[in-house]
Every structure is written in structure tokens, then in C-alpha cells.
Amino acid sequence: MEFDTAELASLLAAVLPDVVAWRRHLHAHPEVSFHERETSAYVFETLQQFQGLQLTRPTETSVVARLIGAGHGPVLALRADMDALPITEENDVAYRSRRPGAMHACGHDAHTAMLLGTAKVLLALRDRFQGEVRFIFQPAEELPPGGAEPLCESGVMDGVDAVVGAHVWTPLPVGTVALRAGALMASSDTFEVTIRGRGGHAAQPHMGVDSLLVAAETIVNLQHIVSRNSDPLQPLVVSVTQVRAGTANNVIPEEAVFAGTVRSFDPELRRQVPGMLERIVRGVTEAHGASYELRYDFGYRPVVNDVRITGLVREALLERFGPDAVIEPEPSMGGEDFSAYLAKAPGAFFFLGAGNAAKGLVFPHHSARFDIDEDVLRIGLEAEVRTALHLMSRLAADGN
Ligand code: NI
């Protein structure tokens, strides 16, 4: 590496108290997806104070900062999400949410604060690397269609050679960093099916077409998709999570609606699922004289980490944190719109362990008691800075 480790350590130590303060401010003032007005203004003003970054606001509640190094070279994008969740915080901490009904219950406050710190440190080292580091502060990771897609459409990924993102993760103990090449998180698509029958008196079922019973049979039959229609070695989830039908004990409902989610990693399988679903819905409804309407919405793509970029990130993390700390996580069927950036450039998304059982920090993401061990801020800051410096130097050496 082309920097002095003592110098880097002192830069990191100098900015860490700011990172903690930024995170606590953001935690106390959460804003839910697509409403990050104060948050994005705070990020913009903080970056402005650093002096030397080129700032833009490509979408209403996003901020992008460009840091130009010493001459022509690769372009690396680093991404943080900024949105909170519609949850009322139950933690009793000094920095607890001051807004009922909004809470940073997924740690995006930490992501934003760490990326601000990373920008400040890399700004001080701008004459040590060639090319550009682009910091993307995005809104609305939690709410499809998400904030990443419109940012990509606005051109923030133009010319980018690699993209990296990190997520704090309380199921893993603080001090660990979890990274894997290939599929990491699933695509998340949704569907809604409306079954139309013929309503009537519950005492004369033969006079109508029971939409509720047809819906029930359809839901059971959909279980064939995972258990019989798709390769058992390809992960797939088809879950019906909502059913709505009926108004009274003695009325056969005219209409029944059910909805759910589909998760997968394989793009080809993902494309096939709507057809499998419709075949079953059509078959069962026709068999019983009902009709149907199917709505299928493709959501976030799967997060698939690039082998080469993931390898370079791993090198940087191993050099600082060692083989005991750098672990390989199991893929998760959860979704992430970081995948939108991965459709534009190769990249890597990794997890920063943020839980600590000894401190009682064991609550899952999206819980009203969720909190992180703030030691992850120090680790995540250094992980991001070192990853960026290593990637810039290696991508430049490899000719992009
Ligand atoms: Ni999250």
C-alpha cells in the first residue's frame, strides 16, 4: 500500500469522534424512505464543510460527492443508505429517536456516518491515489422500488469501475467482517392474485362459485413451485403472506385476494417463476369455474458479488483484521437494492458484525429495540478507508 500506516491511524483516530457524533445525530433524527430531507441536507452540509469535494443532488433526497485524486485513474463508488423505518424506538439511550413512528432500526445511520468519515479521511489522502472516489448517499433502501435505481438512471454509476457497500449486522458479533463472492442476497419480487367467483348465500353453495375455496386450493398448489417445479439445488422462496376475502358468516364471497413474495438468486429461475405461478393459478381457477387476475412486480435484483472485486476487498480486510475476523457468511434470502449498482459495475457488498451479547446488543434488524455496538463505527470506518485505498491502487495497477 502507498500510505504510511501511522499516518492513516492518526487520521482515523481524529475523525472517529465525528463519526460517532454524526451517527448519534442521525439516529435521534430519523426520516423514513423517500422523506430524507433533513438527513440529506445534513449530509450535504457536512460534506461541504470538508472543502474539496464536488457535490451534487441527483435525486430529491440523495447526495453524491466526487473526490478527484492525483491524476487519471480508476473510478470507485462507495455507497451508504440513509433511510429509517416506520417503527417507534423502545431503547432508552441518550441518542434515542426523537420522532415517534420513525427509527433507524437497520443501522443506516451508521452507514451514513461511516461514509462521511471515509470521505473526510480519503480527502486528506487525495494526493496518494489516482482516479476518483465517488460517495453515494442514497435514500429509500427499505421501500421498493428503492432509491438506488433512480440514482443509477441519473448517471451516478457512469464511468465507475467498481462499487462497494457495507451493512452493519447485529446477528454477527462486533469485530467480525463477513464477505463472500457470488450470490449474497436474493431478488425480492411480489405478486397479488385476485380470484373472482360468483357470490351468494352460504346455504346454497351450488348456486355460486366459491372464490375463497378456489383461493385456498390455489395457495396450496403454489407449493408445487418450490417442491416440484424448480431445481432443489437452486434456492427459491414462494410465500403467500396475505389473504383477504369475505364479509359475513352466511355469504360466499364473490372475490378473494392473496399476495406474497418470491425470493431467488438465479436470474433464469427468477424469470420463470411468474409463468409457473400463472399456470397454477389459471389451472385451478378454470377447474372450478372461477376467473383470476395476476399482478407480478419484479423488485430488487439479487446481490451477486463480483469474484475479482470481492477478492481485492478481502485482501484489504485480511491485512488489517486477520483471518479470524474475516468470515464467510451464508447467503441470505433478504433483499437489498445495492444490486442496482451491481447491474452497472462489478462490486462487493459485505457485512460488519455489530452485535454484542455481553452488552445486551442482541436485537434483530427492524426491531424496536435494535441497536449497534458503536465499536463497529471504528471498524467499519477503517474497513471502508483501507478497502478504498487498496482498490484504487490495485485497479490502477491492473489498468482500470
Ligand atoms: Ni438495512
Cα–Cα distance for residue pair 358/327, rounded to 1 Å: 21
Q: 3-class DSSP state for residue 168?
A: strand
Q: Number of C-alpha atoms within 13 angstroms, CB side, residue 209?
A: 18
What pLDDT, on a 0 to 100 scale, did the predictor assign at position 400? 64
Residue 238 pLDDT grade (very low, low, confident, very high; cuts 50, 70, 90): very high
Average confidence (pLDDT) over 21-26: 98
What pLDDT, on a 0 to 100 scale, did the predictor assign at position 3? 67
Average confidence (pLDDT) over 119-146: 96
Average confidence (pLDDT) over 341-358: 98
121-124: long-range contacts at Cβ-Cβ below 8 A with a sequence spacing of 24 or more?
121/8, 121/11, 121/12, 121/15, 121/381, 121/385, 122/67, 122/385, 122/388, 122/389, 123/50, 123/52, 123/53, 123/67, 124/11
pLDDT over 70, % of the chain: 99
Per-residue DSSP letter, 110:
H
Mean pLDDT, rounded, of the chain: 96
- In angstroms, what is the span from residue 85 Cα to ligand 1's centroid? 9
Give 54-113 pLDDT, tens digit per residue.
999 999 999 999 999 998 999 999 999 999 999 999 999 999 999 999 999 999 999 999
- Pairing type for strands 303-305 and 236-245 reads unpaired
Helix residue ranges, H only, the chain: 5-28, 37-50, 108-124, 148-153, 211-224, 267-287, 307-321, 339-342, 375-397
Cα–Cα distance for residue pair 182/262, rounded to 1 Å: 20
Which of these CATH numbers, 3.40.190.10, 3.40.630.10, 3.30.200.20, 3.30.310.50, describes 5-185+302-397?
3.40.630.10
Domain with CATH 3.30.70.360 in the chain: 187-300
Q: Quote the pTM value.
A: 0.90
- In angstroms, what is the span from residue 89 Cα to ligand 1's centroid? 16
Q: How far is CA 244 from CA 198, 211, 220, 259, in A?
A: 16, 11, 16, 9
- Is a pLDDT exceeding 70 seen at residue 2? no
What pLDDT, on a 0 to 100 scale, did the predictor assign at position 399? 75
* CA 228 from centre of chain: 30
Q: 3-class DSSP state for residue 118?
A: helix
What pLDDT, on a 0 to 100 scale, did the predictor assign at position 95? 98
Nearest Cα to Cα of residue 120 among 238, 20, 16: 16
Average confidence (pLDDT) over 152-167: 98
Give 353-400 pLDDT, tens digit per residue.
999 999 999 999 999 999 999 999 999 999 999 999 999 999 999 876
Domain with CATH 3.40.630.10 in the chain: 5-185+302-397
- In angstroms, what is the span from residue 142 Cα to ligand 1's centroid? 7
- Is a pLDDT exceeding 90 seen at residue 41? yes
- In angstroms, what is the span from residue 303 Cα to ligand 1's centroid? 13
Per-residue DSSP letter, 227:
I
Catalytic pick among 89, 300, 341, 382: 300
- Is a pLDDT exceeding 90 seen at residue 352? yes
Amino acid at 117: G
What pLDDT, on a 0 to 100 scale, did the predictor assign at position 293? 98
153 part of the active site: no
What pLDDT, on a 0 to 100 scale, did the predictor assign at position 398? 84
- In angstroms, what is the span from residue 24 Cα to ligand 1's centroid? 17
Q: 3-class DSSP state for residue 63?
A: strand
CATH class of 187-300: alpha beta
Cα–Cα distance for residue pair 334/144, rounded to 1 Å: 13
300 part of the active site: yes
Q: How far is CA 231 from CA 224, 264, 265, 268, 300, in A?
A: 12, 12, 12, 12, 22
Give 243-281 pLDDT, tens digit per residue.
999 999 999 999 999 999 999 999 999 999 999 999 999
